[in-house]
Structure 1
Amino acid sequence: MPGSAERPNRLKPVQSFEMMREGAPMLGDFGLQCLAQGDSWFSINTLRPFSGSNLLMNMWLSRSAIAVDCADPGDTLAHMLDSRQDPLFYSFLVGPHDQAWSVILLSGGGNDLIDAIQT
């Protein structure tokens, strides 16, 4: 309807390993395809699962969007980009499952600072 505000769409985060299973969502069915890598901000809170602490679960966009979520609690930037530490993320980024992603979302830094302070 002309003049009406667009209805916001909740971002649909899907764990990266779920994309390897039969019946995984088709990325092309969404207006935006996001690849997410990060630490606890993008992963499920291990103390209170499904409590909504995952920022991806709380994002609303003007278009339908899916995020392939490769995040792990406590991850550091050095490990996120190491193909040996996270081969599935690497395969989505430049390997057999890569594609032209609409957006690459990164969350990191906090655990890197903690590591730097401890050395």
Structure 2
Amino acid sequence: MVPEGDEKKAKKDINKNSTERWELVLRYLAMPLDQNLSNISTTTRQLCDAAGFTASSDGSPELTLSGFQFLLLSPVQQMWTCVIEYLKLEKARERKVVAVLDSHSFMC
């Protein structure tokens, strides 16, 4: 059994880390510059392209109208949208959605 103080610290660390990672994704969408590009995974970039949040005209990603509308959603709506779009991406890759959910290997 984990001591209560350690459990609280672990939850706080997880929350802080997840918030920081999500902010990196949002920063990438808002300003898909080279410096922000290196902060997120290839899968997340592919997800943003597949969902229509970004588009590349000259090889560098740009925010689309859909991406802008995504940024205006509440954080809960953003997360659910991201999960749904990720599952669509995995299905397009011919992976079974149940296996994806079971693997706990979500993007970001």
TM-score (norm 2): 0.29
Whichever structure has more helix as a proportion of its residues is 2
Q: Give the TM-score normalised by the residue count of structure 1.
A: 0.27
The structure richer in strand per residue is: 1
